[in-house]
Structure 1
Amino acid sequence: MGSHQAAVLLLAIAVIIVVTRLFGALATRVGQPPVIGEILAGILLGPTLLGQAGTELLFPTDIRPFLQTLANVGVVVFMFLVGLEVDHALLRGKGRLATTVSLTSVLLPLGLGALLALYLLQSHPHPQRLGFALFMGTAMAVTAFPVLARILTDRGLHRTKIGGLALTCAAVDDVLAWSLLALVVAINGAAPDQWRLALAVPYLMVMFWVVRPLLRRLAATAAPGQAFAIVLAGLMLSGYLTEWIGLHSLFGAFLFGLIMPREGAERLRGLTVEWLGQVCAVLLLPIFFVMGGLNVNLSALGTAGLVELALILLVAVGGKFTGAYAAARLHGLDGRESATLGTLMNTRGLTELIILSVGLRLGVLDRDLYSLMVVMALVTTAMAGPLLALIRSRTRAAEAPRQDRALVG
């Protein structure tokens, strides 16, 4: 990298940080999660608003590989933090309700997404029909655990029964979605040598039966700074191994966070979330949003594109909501609780963008379909807040006459 490239790269990073933070703050002001504003900032810094000439001026082609490398590191760190934040207690002892809601809220949009893929293949051909159908189904079935947790906290629902159930289902959905994506990556032939995929099972065994006990001992005996350095190195090594196997570095990062000890390692986990979380949120992920936005171009969206977008939104929202709502009602939850759960499970956020970036990298998605799916991720996340407010207001309106009659009686 020459001195001129380095200077332009630093300027580009400064622009990215300022613009994404500004839009994140604006999103918060209107009651949305900051990630909504940051995703929107990434799109607006791309060709959708500025055109190819404008994006080339802000982000010259010769610095984009460096930005993409930082973005990739940011996603790996984020997936580690997602795995780290999954509470193992959420995955145990929640009974048939959480299991049923989790499965139906994954299987229904998965099936509908696969059916939609058969239609989309006409305008977005792909040689691997099964891989394309599974990818579209997986993209429809995602729930963003981190964004969901933020929405629940902001609205005071994280300590309620329905909030705890939503977090449990989202945690299970995350594990199922990433397992499905691993299958999609394998089907689409990402591995340079297919035999390496057979090493996935020994890798999992080593991670759970060897690495996990070592991490527990590390947390109990090593100094915090030294332990953090070892954890960071282990994270990168785990990502490298899954990439070499032929899955994706994201799986290694997520799994490494998942096996991190919870009990007796609170200080190490706290430091890791604080140190890595700030760097990831302020520097690395904004770069990821912008690099994703450079691949989104909605300026030439025609009638056919609008029809496809409508179908994508119908399948994504309808499949996820119906699956969660129907399962909740079958288990005795009332209409308000079931609708709240269905709305929360539709939150996709950054997790969806990461999955879409994998699809773009594998060639499963072309640029046009990628753009439409990014809009779907933005809409399904942004609609959660207003829909929750609407459900709550209608509930209050319905309860008011009953309270009045009770007072009269």
Structure 2
Amino acid sequence: MAMLVIYTVPYLVWRVLRTDFWAPLVVVQIVGGILLGPGVLGAFFPDYYRAVFTPGTITALNGIAWWAVMMFVWVAGIELDIREAWRRRGETGLTAGLALAVPLVTGSLAALLMVRYPGWRGEAGAIWQVVLGIGIACAVTALPILVLFLEKLSILRTPFGQRILRYASLDDVAIWGVLAVILLDWERMGRQLGFLVLFGLATLAFRALMARIAEQDRWYLGLVWLAGCGFAADWAGLHFMVGAFLSGAVLDAAWFRQEDMDRFRHFVLLTIMPVFFLSTGLRTEWTIGGGAVFAAAALLLCASVGGKLIGVQIAGRVLGWPKGEATTLGWLLQTKALIMIIFANVLLDRHIITNSTFTALLLMALGSTMLTIPMVSSRLSVYVRGDRA
């Protein structure tokens, strides 16, 4: 029954209400997860909620959800084009750095205001971890969702689209690096350093193997590599999602056909990522009051959107971009839904933030992502679809 609800309700809303322009199916699925969670469905229809989402059902859904996300993050890591970003490192580094640093600062300032009040900091979270975690959540750009939006706008394979992906790719690497810093456990530092050393050695051997085998074997062994790296990172105390990203980031996209990569990503999104969206919704809570959570979400949304736009505007001024280009690019980099939600889930798992903070971050991510297509569609010009690299 839970799987029937997961696949039926969001699809009907998306199709019947024709929300695709302002809320693609992936966004509707996340909203559906919130509405089906304990804060909404559980509050108004507690008997039905408990009958459908039993503890055993939730445990099973969480297992499916985390494996779905691991595969999704793995593919995102493979698709990072660090070589192209390095080739254009001056422009890419400046733009990506400002697009990350400014919203990180504004988000951290918002977090400092939040932690002055009880209910936002988790029981195991130091103030610096909470502030840095919320700040980087405001700065993130979800590369997989950005790819979907660029496809929707028909600019993915254009020079402008590839440029945006370079900026988002560098920010993605920085975000996972910050997560690793937040999760550092000084009592397990030896184990974590051991993981990094062994991972580096294993990467050299695995890359040599991947270069010598057929592509059909690369997919299968890639999943074995993903599971092994996820387990090793979790054993070291860095969380299996850090291992999932690293396992993909060290592989070459050229080893896999682009159409197969696109098909795999769409397959994961269609078949098992909806389970993650629902399980995310089941973790939302309004324990400190719905008004306070919405106020925090609005504060974080202003910090996130405003910081990102200001950072990209500064880059545009320094690099001499045409009028309006920085605004268009800044709105495209607002997509947050998936990676930010994964990031926040990890912080919640480690009790660095509370369920209320997680809910506020989730609402912020949805608002930011839903603004992207409407704000960009009216701004796309001949330049955006044109030839400039």
TM-score range, shorter chain: 0.7 to 0.9
- Overall identity of the aligned pairs, in %: 28
For residues 183-241 of structure 1, the C-alpha deviation after alignment (integer angstroms, 9 at most, x for no partner) is 1111xx3x883321112431342244222222111246xxx2x4433222111111111
Give yes or no for the alignment of 1:16 onto 2:6: yes
In structure 2, relative to structure 1, the CA distance for the partners of 1:113 and 1:297 (3 Å cut) is same
| CA shift for structure 1 position 290 | 0.7
Contact conserved, 1:112 with 1:315, CA < 8 A, in 2? Answer: yes
In structure 2, relative to structure 1, the CA distance for the partners of 1:30 and 1:235 (3 Å cut) is same
The corresponding residue for 1:7 is none
SS at match of 2:107: helix
| CA shift for structure 1 position 98 | 1.5
Contact conserved, 1:20 with 1:286, CA < 8 A, in 2? Answer: no
SS at match of 2:6: helix
For residues 249-289 of structure 1, the C-alpha deviation after alignment (integer angstroms, 9 at most, x for no partner) is 112211222222333x335x7546535751x2233211111
Among candidates 202, 207, 211, match of residue 216 of structure 1: 211
**Please, which runs of 5 or more residues in structure 2 have no aligned partner?**
384-389
* Residue type at the aligned position of 2:9: V
Give yes or no for the alignment of 1:122 onto 2:81: no
Contact conserved, 1:242 with 1:252, CA < 8 A, in 2? Answer: yes
Kindly tell me the number of residue pairs found equivalent between the two proteins: 374
| CA shift for structure 1 position 377 | 0.4
Among candidates 244, 251, 254, match of residue 245 of structure 2: 254
Identify the structure with the greater helix proportion: 1
SS at match of 2:324: helix
Give yes or no for the alignment of 1:345 onto 2:333: yes
The corresponding residue for 1:176 is 174
1:219 and 1:79 map into 2 onto residues whose CA distance is 23
The corresponding residue for 2:145 is 147
Identify which range, 291-300 or 69-78, moves more after superposition: 291-300
Contact conserved, 1:23 with 1:41, CA < 8 A, in 2? Answer: no
Give yes or no for the alignment of 1:81 onto 2:75: yes
SS at match of 2:72: helix
SS at match of 1:296: coil
2:81 and 2:202 map into 1 onto residues whose CA distance is 18
Among candidates 236, 239, 244, match of residue 245 of structure 1: 236
Among candidates 134, 138, 161, match of residue 132 of structure 2: 134
The corresponding residue for 2:386 is none
In structure 2, relative to structure 1, the CA distance for the partners of 1:230 and 1:242 (3 Å cut) is same
Give yes or no for the alignment of 1:93 onto 2:87: yes
2:187 and 2:274 map into 1 onto residues whose CA distance is 31
1:276 and 1:117 map into 2 onto residues whose CA distance is 33
Contact conserved, 2:301 with 2:364, CA < 8 A, in 1? Answer: yes
TM-score for the superposition, normalised by structure 2: 0.88
1:320 and 1:368 map into 2 onto residues whose CA distance is 24
For residues 332-351 of structure 1, the C-alpha deviation after alignment (integer angstroms, 9 at most, x for no partner) is 01231110111111111211
Among candidates 192, 200, 219, match of residue 197 of structure 1: 192
| CA shift for structure 1 position 77 | 1.0
2:363 and 2:140 map into 1 onto residues whose CA distance is 15
SS at match of 1:391: coil
**Please, which runs of 5 or more residues in structure 1 have no aligned partner?**
1-10, 396-409
SS at match of 2:283: coil
1:251 and 1:138 map into 2 onto residues whose CA distance is 15
Higher relative contact order (CA 8 A, sep 6+): 2
1:157 and 1:305 map into 2 onto residues whose CA distance is 36
SS at match of 1:47: coil
TM-score for the superposition, normalised by structure 1: 0.84
1:381 and 1:164 map into 2 onto residues whose CA distance is 19
* Residue type at the aligned position of 1:262: A
2:379 and 2:162 map into 1 onto residues whose CA distance is 18
1:22 and 1:389 map into 2 onto residues whose CA distance is 25
* Residue type at the aligned position of 1:58: V
Give matches, 1:37-48, under 5 Å. Answer: 37-48=28-39
1:75 and 1:159 map into 2 onto residues whose CA distance is 25
The corresponding residue for 1:371 is 359
2:172 and 2:286 map into 1 onto residues whose CA distance is 29
Identify which range, 339-348 or 205-214, moves more after superposition: 205-214
| CA shift for structure 1 position 301 | 4.3
2:156 and 2:219 map into 1 onto residues whose CA distance is 29
RMSD: 2.5
* Residue type at the aligned position of 1:93: R
Contact conserved, 1:76 with 1:253, CA < 8 A, in 2? Answer: yes
SS at match of 1:156: coil
Among candidates 217, 232, 236, match of residue 223 of structure 2: 232
The corresponding residue for 2:283 is 295
For residues 82-101 of structure 1, the C-alpha deviation after alignment (integer angstroms, 9 at most, x for no partner) is 11222344423224221101
Among candidates 10, 20, 25, match of residue 34 of structure 1: 25
* Residue type at the aligned position of 2:2: A
The corresponding residue for 1:308 is 296
SS at match of 1:37: helix
| CA shift for structure 1 position 56 | 1.7
* Residue type at the aligned position of 2:225: G
2:224 and 2:262 map into 1 onto residues whose CA distance is 15
1:277 and 1:343 map into 2 onto residues whose CA distance is 24
SS at match of 2:245: helix
